Structure 1
Amino acid sequence: MTDSTAARNRPDDRDEIARLLPAPADRDLTREQHLRHKELLMQHIDHDHAASTAAAEPARRTPRRRTVRVASAAALALAGALTAGIALTGNAGPAHGGTTTAATDTRPAAALLHRISAAAARHDTLTVRDDQFVYTREKIRGADLTSGKAVVGPLEDDETWLAQEPGPLHRLGLSRVDGETLPINAELGDTEGTPAGFGRPTYRWLGSLPTDPARLLDYLYAKTPEAERRQRDQAVFEQIGSLLGGMMPPRTAAALYQAAAGIPGVRRTVEARDVIGRQGLGIVRDDTRYGVRTEWVFDPKDYSFLGARTFLIRDTSYGKAGTLLSGTAELAHAVVDKAGLRPADADGTRTA
């Protein structure tokens, strides 16, 4: 990219990213906000690569994903937010953070997703009060992109307590990563707070979603936020995935899995592992525009959700095919009466 091209393109990117970034002092990314910040980075990368490609080959303007060149404080903060966020984390594997790209099964995913759905429907429905908190404990690992290369950090212990009040709320809960506790706040500038919804999926809100898979899929396509140049099918698949790491009513979970079976391009994998190496059954979808695979991992015995990972499926300037960008391992879920209390410390705890 020439200096003049950079001067024309990057200020607008910096302003747009800075406008949407939360304050860096707090861990204030909800799941929906995290996905939006992740999409901003993808667009920033696309913009940089398209400009550099145009300079070298004027007749060729098809951008490839993730030529990462983070040149401003706002973009650096965004990459840091991706590392610290709830959803974008790395995966276990070789010490350098890489993995092999698992082969996909030629069989469709529908049969497996229907078995997973049936298992989810057999779980007990909980009574969760509006004054309680949903507790989640996970292992996470984050990919830091600030150097221009994907550098996967160490495993971290992540605990969250998400408020169940319908809201809107300014304080959404607490997050504790490797012993450091920080508030989860509403998006910066959101003076009215965040209501229950995709950005803050409470147990009661999840229970209000359609439980007919076809109606639910229509709802997801209608309500999933639009993102420029983003494949719509992939956005809906990832929206479902963003809900799987928490607690939800059994009928909702069952409908979500059946709805996912109706998204074009969803397939099985021959093998799948979560961030701590637990092997399971895999459901995947490839974002062919950006060369990234999103994979959900399920226990082969009881079909419970073990975790998820995201990794490159083709070489890019900041990582080889197989480089991990995200990964989680679900360890515990419960309902507690106070933010900051672990299930063993709280009276009246309901576990899932």
Structure 2
Amino acid sequence: MDDLTLIRDLTEDAVLPNAKRLAPARAAFIAEAGLAKKRFWSMGRIAFAGTAGLAAAAIVVVAAAKAPPPAPAPAPPLAMAPTERPLRLASQVLDEAADAALRQEAVVPRPDQFLYLSQRGAGGKVVYEGWFSIDGKHDGLVIRSEEGETVLEACRPGKKTVEGDNCKPEAHYLPDLPTDPKKLLKQIEKDANQDTEEARTNAIAKDLWYYAEQFWLTPKQRAAVYRAAATVPGLKVIEGVTDPAGRKGTGVAWTYGAQAMWIFDPETNVFLGSQTTTTDVALVDAVRDR
């Protein structure tokens, strides 16, 4: 016998209560049912909100776990040390020196003035001083640290040279010296008839150096000297050299037996001297003025 048949048999003769008798119980049941429903939806909203938050957090965690790690930031470029500047051509260094010369003030000397030349060796010791007449008609002077003083007698009318010919004044300012590099180079090359290119380079470079040191040049003339030198084959750049005064510079060198070098300031491009002497030139009014 199943449960439903047993209940029907047991309650077959029972009298069911009428609606009036059941009304209080029915009202209590409905009231309790409504309150339970409110509690259910209130708890449901809380539970849903919490579940949604956990779900969102889980999504974030999963997304973070699956996202690829950020790419490392690119390393900043290494700073180049001053002595590590890119290697330049001799023509570039000399062109920059020419530009620096053009920024100097143009000073036209008086005929009675002197070009003062000072050279210092190791430790800054003065090894050579010279006072050269601008027009070549005034006595000059040279002082060498090991040889003492030598008077440079000016050329005067009727004065004879060792060979017996009348002398010509040796001016140290040449207003007619070309300011065009090509014309200047052509003028120098006339006497450069050496057999080898190396010997020709040496002769031309020395003549240009002679102009740069032994003459009072206008900015345009000095720029022409450097630009003419820039076209001479066989010159090379040596970065990070040091002059006798301990100043860092950029060298423009050539070799003919031994190495000769012009040194320029790496920042201002001003001529400093050679690897053996530093050079300073000035315009003065009298011998022994410095």
Q: TM-score range by the shorter chain?
A: 0.5 to 0.7
Note closer, same or farther for the CA distance 1:178–1:120 as it changes in structure 2 (3 Å cut): same
- Residue 233 of structure 2 aligns to a residue whose secondary structure is coil
Q: CA deviation at 1:193?
A: 2.7
Distance 1:329 1:127 in 2: 24
Aligned residue for 2:132?
Answer: 162
For the residues of structure 2 that align with 1:221 and 1:298, how far apart are their CA atoms?
Answer: 24
CA positional deviation for 1:233: 2.1
Cα separation, 1, equivalents of 2:264 and 2:239: 12
State the 1:185 CA deviation.
4.7
Change (3 A) 1:188 1:262: same
1:121 is aligned to 2:102? yes
**TM-score where L is the length of structure 1:** 0.50
Q: Distance in 2 between matches of 1:190 and 1:124?
A: 41
SS at match of 1:115: helix
Deviation at 1:254, TM superposition (A): 0.3
CA distance in 1, matches of 2:87, 2:211: 27
Which structure 2 segments of 5+ residues have no match? 1-85, 155-159
Letter in 2 for 1:242: Y
Question: Of 74, 78, 89, which residue of structure 2 is paired with 1:108?
Answer: 89
Structure 1 residues 280 and 161 mapped into 2: Cα distance closer, same or farther (>3 Å)?
same
In structure 2, the residue matched to 1:175 is 142
The SS at the match of 1:231 is: helix
Aligned mates of 1:120, 1:133 — CA distance in 2? 20
Residues in 2 aligned to 1:257 and 1:217: alpha-carbon distance in whole angstroms? 10
Match of 2:278 in 1: 329
- Structure-1 residue corresponding to 2:272: 306
- The yes-or-no answer on 1:258 pairing with 2:227 is yes
Which residue number corresponds to residue 202 of structure 2?
Answer: 234
| Deviations 1:108-162 (CA, angstroms, capped at 9, x unpaired) | 2111111110010111111211111111222147xxxxxxxxxxxx954322100
Conserved? CA contact 1:271–1:281, under 8 Å: yes
* 1:163-201 C-alpha deviation (Å, 9 max, x unpaired): 11255x8x5x101234943213589715433433xxx6x
Letter in 1 for 2:167: G
Q: Distance in 1 between matches of 2:223 and 2:117?
A: 20
> CA contact under 8 A between 1:307 and 1:328: conserved in structure 2?
yes
**Cα deviation code 1:269-326 (max 9, x no counterpart):** 1232222222201111122xx3x211100111211111013xxxxxxxxxxxxxxxxx
Return the structure number with greater relative CO, CA threshold 8 A, min gap 6. 1
Which structure has the greater CA radius of gyration? 2
Counterpart in 1 of 2:117?
Answer: 136
Contact 1:244 1:305 in 2 (8 A): no
Equivalent pair of 1:308/1:328 in contact (CA under 8 Å): yes
Give matches, 1:27-46, under 5 Å.
none
Aligned residues: 196
What corresponds to 1:339 in structure 2? Answer: 287
Tell me the residue number matched to 1:294.
260
Provide the rounded CA distance (Å) in 2 between the counterparts of 1:267 and 1:178: 32
Instruction: Tell me the distance in 1 between the aligned counterparts of 2:246 and 2:264.
Output: 12
Matches within 5 A, 1:42-57: none
Instruction: Give 3-state SS (helix, strand or coil) of 1:209's partner.
Output: coil
Whole-angstrom distance in 1 between the partners of 2:282 and 2:88: 35
User: What one-letter code is carried by the residue in structure 2 that aligns with 1:300?
Assistant: P
